[in-house]
Amino acid sequence: MAIATKSIKFLVLFTIVFTSFTAFAGGDSPSSDKDGEINTPKGIKEYIKHHLKDSHDFSLFSYSNDAGERKHIGFPLPVIVWTSNGLKTFMSSEFHHNDDGHVLVEKGDTKLTKIHGKIYELDAGASIVSFDAEHHATNAHKVLDFSITKSVFGILLAGLLMILGFGSLAKGYKKGAIPTGVGRILEPLVLYVRDDIAKPNIGEKKYRKFMPYLLTVFFFIWILNLLGLTPLGFNVTGQIAVTVCLAVITTIIYITNGSKDFWAHTLWMPGVPMLLRPILAVLELAGFLLIKPFSLLVRLFANITAGHSVVMGIAALMILLKAQFGTVGATGISFVLTLFLTVIELLVAFLQAYIFTMLSALFIGMAVEEHDHAHDH
């Protein structure tokens, strides 16, 4: 009974946390139309674009106070950049939330500024950023940016959660064979990855070696997808760099673990005419080195980006429909639709983690498979 009450409470809290995203998204407004408020379709589009990008600050929301000043609630994150004069570190608060190159941060001889979420180093001698007609900086260049951005912060947070959660699960087994507490939720998930993803796709004999990677990737993506649905506003799995990194690791794993049979079939396909073999080899190589990783990275990136865009867009209906339906009507419509979409996004969060892991396992399975040569090629 106590457990049931607890889980209901948890569910309620869960729903509130995820659906309150609506309120946050609607009220938040860093790039302003007027006094930081976003009231126009263009402003909303800009805002969503801004959210989808990585950011150097961790901002929860912002508002205008009575004096008309813009106040940002959140905290700065460390900026670590490799400039032409070496490594420079400072806190992102030094940019004062400016994102269009008007605030310069001087570190020694290096002048740095932030334009559209990217950090630029001004060329020697320049003291102000000049832009061309398409709003590209003409006298500044991008630097290598190893900052702890919002996404890196999210990655670290997810990593910490995983180490805490699974560390406690691992420790729990020392006390008894049946896990307690949070381990009771985590154990079936681990078993799920093992029995429904790894074993069927890689095979009973070889799955063990790849379990750490598959488990890590599955929970990493899932937790980050879920974090993306909280009002914290992470969009880590919607960063192309993150999905590229995941896909590259998967590719490296199945390429380096390819069996003799795999390479034989890829490079010199038996059973087809000699003339076709080189063509097939090119196709197969392209498939394994480019197409498969590309499909992996684009699928995750596109799903999460689309999900965030749609949820935020629907949330913005609150503002756009105000004229037609009044404040209460517009908020009601937007709330119901956003609730519905957020529930779907919860499913998508799991589904994308599952698909990425499953396809990784499938590709690894294809690579490590050893054919029995009883049949003729």
Partner 1 sequence: MDIFNDFSIGLFAMQLVILLVLLFLLAKFAWKPIMNSLEERESGIEDALEAAANARKEMQNLQADNEKLIKEARAERDAMMKDAREIKEKMIADAKEDAKEVTSKLIASAQASIEQEKQAALAEIKKNVADLSIGIAETVIKKELASKDEQIKLVEGMLKEVTLN
Chain residues binding partner 1 by CB under 8 A are 49, 52-54, 81, 118, 144-149, 151-152, 155-156, 159, 162-163, 166-167, 169-170, 173, 177, 187, 190-191, 194, 208, 211-213, 215-216, 220, 239-242, 244-246, 248-249, 301
Of 162 and 255, CB closest to partner 1: 162
Task: For the CB of residue 371, give the shortest distance to partner 1 in the complex, in Å.
Answer: 28
* CB nearer partner 1, residue 163 or residue 285: 163
Shortest distance, CB of residue 178 to partner 1, whole angstroms?
8
Pairing state between β 70-76 and 78-83: unpaired
At its nearest, how many Å lie between partner 1 and the CB of residue 253? 11
Extract the tokens encoding 24. 């946050």
Q: How far is the CB of 169 from partner 1 (least distance, A)?
A: 6
Burial readout 91-114 (b: 16 or more C-beta within 10 A, e: otherwise): ebebbebebebeebbebeebbbbb
Q: Give the Cα separation of 142 and 82 in Å (integer).
A: 10
The least CB distance from residue 215 to partner 1, in Å, is 6
Cβ proximity to partner 1, 203 vs 332, nearer residue: 203
Q: Which amino acid is at 1?
A: M
CB-based contacts of 55: which residues, under 8 Å, 6+ apart?
117, 149, 150
Q: How far apart are CA 203 and CA 227, in angstroms?
A: 32
Cβ proximity to partner 1: between 201 and 331 the closer is 201
C-alpha distance across the termini of the chain, in Å: 62
In order of 84, 250, 286, the CA distances from 282 in angstroms are 41, 20, 6
Q: Which is nearer to partner 1, 155 or 359 (CB)?
A: 155
Q: ∠ CA(337), CA(342), CA(346), 5° rounding? A: 155
Q: Between residues 224 and 358, which has the closer beta carbon with respect to partner 1?
A: 224
**Can you tell me which residue has the tokens 């914290």?**
232
294 Rama class: left (phi>0) / alpha (psi -120 to 50) / beta? alpha
Nearer to partner 1, 104 or 242 (CB): 242
Q: What are phi and psi of 128, to 5 degrees?
A: -145, 145
Q: Considering the complex, what minimum distance in angstroms separates the CB of residue 146 from partner 1?
A: 5
Q: How far is the CB of 220 from partner 1 (least distance, A)?
A: 7
